[in-house]
């Protein structure tokens, strides 16, 4: 097997493994005999003395919103595939309009523990992505501590609901400032170092299916996530000459603190009702309302089911993929016209 083919096979295997929690095992044989040294594990073990199943080995990934949810899952998945991790989170409430519990310093510490359990280095940084100076300082710290930065995942986001005609300025401003401006701040803070390194790189934005279509009572969130797609495509055009790819992932409803709460569930149930939805729907009521949207028959996904796509986009197998959107939503994107 030539080295290029080996990398692609390894990356594909890694993606499959991460989807199973990073614990899948692959068996290779020579001359029809299987040996212990020929058993390949996707979290960085060896095969015939050569590490070929850790496609992110030697890479450093920066992930915002890393304290929990999708950000944590991507951090752990990338660590399982060989990357060292810089996890950034505000570890506090971002805005009074947010109605779910904020991440804490202990959440980010837990992410670090999970990364280290996979044998990788972890640098945790508390920073607000709305603060460009803080992100620039984080970029300097990451580069000095880790030596380089190869992958950036802009995941940090907030969500709140308010009808357009009832909005106060902060209902719009807080969401746009964090989700859209914060994502751009992340790129602007870390991309210069990636360009200077001259080795290419990967930038992955986390958008949302709500950026693909409108959201009743959620216009600020949808606008921010649609804006991220436009930002991604523009950045792909500008950074391609530096061999830096830029893509987005559009998750559907994911079982995280952002969506596993009364307000989000009420809005989800209301999408399929002509009467006002209940203020406190049960998990069963919410699941029943969401199931018709997903051909794969799931009301929502787990964060770990988004992570393998991020791993793929960070590997050499995706080196010719840029300016693209990857929907991870159990098939909800089948309803999307474009």
Which of 100, 221, 242, 326 is catalytic? The answer is 221
- State the residue for tokens 């972890």: 122
Of 68, 81, 26, residue with least CA distance to 48: 26
Tokens linked to 44: 């960085």
Active site residue 242: no
Q: What share of the chain is helix, strand, coil (3-state, %, to 5)?
A: 45, 15, 40
- Cα 129 from Cα 232, distance rounded (Å): 17
- Cα 217 from Cα 190, distance rounded (Å): 34
- Cα 271 from Cα 284, distance rounded (Å): 16
Of 101, 315, 323, 334, residue with least CA distance to 205: 323
User: Within its chain, how far is the Cα of 184 from the centroid?
Assistant: 15
Exposure string of 3-39, with b = 16+ CB inside 10 Å and e = fewer, is eeeebebbbebbbebbbeebebebeeeeeeeeeeeee
Q: For residue 202, which phi and psi values (nearest 5 degrees)?
A: -135, 130
- State the residue for tokens 């620039």: 136
Q: For residue 266, which phi and psi values (nearest 5 degrees)?
A: -60, -45
Contacts of 238 (CB under 8 A, 6+ apart): none
What DSSP line would sit under 252-300, residue for residue?
-SBSSTTTSSHHHHHHHHHTT-SSPPPSS--HHHHHHHHGGG-TT--SS
Q: What is the set of active-site residues?
A: 221
């Amino acid at each position: 097997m030539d080295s290029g083919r080996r990398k692609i096979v390894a990356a594909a295997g890694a993606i499959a493994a991460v989807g199973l929690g990073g614990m899948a095992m692959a068996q290779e044989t020579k001359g029809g005999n299987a040996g212990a040294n020929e058993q390949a594990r996707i979290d960085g073990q060896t095969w015939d003395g050569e590490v070929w199943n850790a496609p992110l080995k030697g890479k450093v990934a920066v992930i915002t919103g890393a304290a929990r949810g999708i950000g944590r899952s991507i951090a752990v998945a990338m660590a399982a595939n060989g990357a060292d991790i810089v996890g950034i989170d505000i570890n506090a409430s971002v805005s009074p309009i947010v109605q779910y519990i904020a991440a804490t310093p202990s959440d980010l510490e837990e992410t670090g523990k999970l990364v280290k359990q996979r044998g990788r280095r972890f640098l945790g940084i508390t920073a607000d992505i709305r603060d460009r100076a803080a992100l620039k300082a984080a970029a300097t710290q990451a580069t000095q501590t880790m030596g380089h930065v190869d992958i950036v995942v802009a995941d940090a986001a907030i969500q709140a609901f308010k009808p357009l005609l009832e909005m106060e300025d902060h209902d719009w401003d807080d969401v746009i400032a964090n989700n859209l401006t914060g994502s751009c701040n992340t790129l602007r803070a870390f991309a210069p170092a990636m360009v200077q390194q001259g080795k290419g790189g990967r930038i992955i934005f986390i958008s949302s299916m709500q950026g693909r279509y409108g959201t009743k009572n959620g216009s600020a969130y949808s606008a921010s996530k649609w804006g991220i797609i436009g930002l991604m495509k523009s950045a792909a055009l500008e950074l391609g000459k530096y061999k830096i790819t830029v893509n987005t992932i559009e998750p559907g409803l994911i079982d995280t603190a952002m969506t596993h709460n009364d307000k989000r569930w009420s809005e989800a149930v209301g999408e399929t009702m002509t009467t006002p939805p209940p203020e406190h729907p049960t998990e069963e009521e919410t699941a029943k309302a969401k199931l018709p949207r997903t051909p794969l028959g799931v009301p929502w996904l787990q964060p770990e089911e988004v992570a393998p796509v991020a791993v793929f986009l960070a590997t050499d197998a995706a080196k010719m993929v840029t300016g693209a959107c990857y929907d991870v939503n159990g098939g909800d994107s089948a309803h999307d016209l474009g």
